């Protein structure tokens, strides 16, 4: 037998210390503070009012660090496709318009309160927009057709409409035997 070779030891690179467990802790863990630190977050409830149409008013609670573009996106989600969206603080005048979309509510001088304060801080915001004029053929159709399933059959309801009323034309019932029955008024 020849001489024994010595095994080389691996050098520690310092990254292995994360694998080591710490078994002893000097004393008990520190207790949490009895009083919570006051939060710098301020909250407001936006009273969003559509100009000249009170039925679409709604409220939404946000931080004062919320950007104006976020509020405009909220209004777009609420109403769908709109053009020329204008948002004003306090009253709907050009002087009160919130034009800079990158500015926050706090940047426009709106102050809030911590989240738990009752009653919440209410801030009225007025807005107006122009609805998109649709030129898509399906949206310009002057009649309406509804498919209504009823007890194994399908009813096809047809009606015409304009801006003032809806007039019923008739109903066609398609049964399981594909026999068609038409009723009209």
Predicted TM-score of the model (pTM): 0.53
Measured from the Cβ of residue 33, the count of other Cβ atoms closer than 10 Å reads 7
pLDDT at 124 over 90: yes
pLDDT at position 113, please?
Answer: 92
Give the pair of three-digit tokens for residue 33. Answer: 């503070």
pLDDT at position 37, please?
Answer: 52
DSSP sequence for 49-112 = EETT-GGG-EEEEEETT-BHHHHHHHHHHHH-SEEEEEEEESSSSGGGB---TTSBTGGGT---
pLDDT (tens digit per residue) in 23-70: 555 556 555 555 555 567 899 999 999 998 888 899 999 999 999 999
CATH 3.40.50.1110 holds for 43-131:
no
Q: Where are the domains of the chain?
A: 43-131, 137-184
The whole-angstrom separation of Cα 149 and Cα 152 is 7
């Amino acid at each position: 037998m020849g001489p024994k070779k010595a095994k080389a030891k691996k050098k520690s690179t310092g990254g292995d210390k994360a694998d080591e467990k710490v078994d002893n802790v000097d004393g008990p863990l520190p207790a949490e503070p009895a009083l919570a630190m006051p939060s710098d977050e301020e909250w407001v409830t936006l009273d969003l009012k559509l100009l000249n149409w009170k039925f679409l008013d709604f409220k939404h609670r946000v931080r004062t660090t919320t950007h104006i573009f976020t509020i405009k996106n909220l209004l777009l989600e609420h109403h769908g496709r709109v053009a020329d969206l204008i948002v004003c603080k306090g009253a709907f005048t050009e002087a009160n318009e919130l034009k800079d979309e990158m500015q926050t509510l706090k940047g426009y001088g709106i102050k809030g309160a911590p989240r738990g304060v009752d009653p919440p801080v209410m801030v009225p915001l007025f807005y107006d927009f122009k609805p998109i004029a649709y030129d898509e053929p399906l949206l310009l159709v002057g009649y309406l057709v509804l498919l209504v399933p009823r007890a194994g059959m399908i009813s096809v309801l047809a009606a015409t409409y304009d801006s003032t009323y809806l007039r019923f034309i008739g109903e066609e019932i398609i049964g399981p035997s594909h026999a068609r029955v038409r009723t009209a008024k």
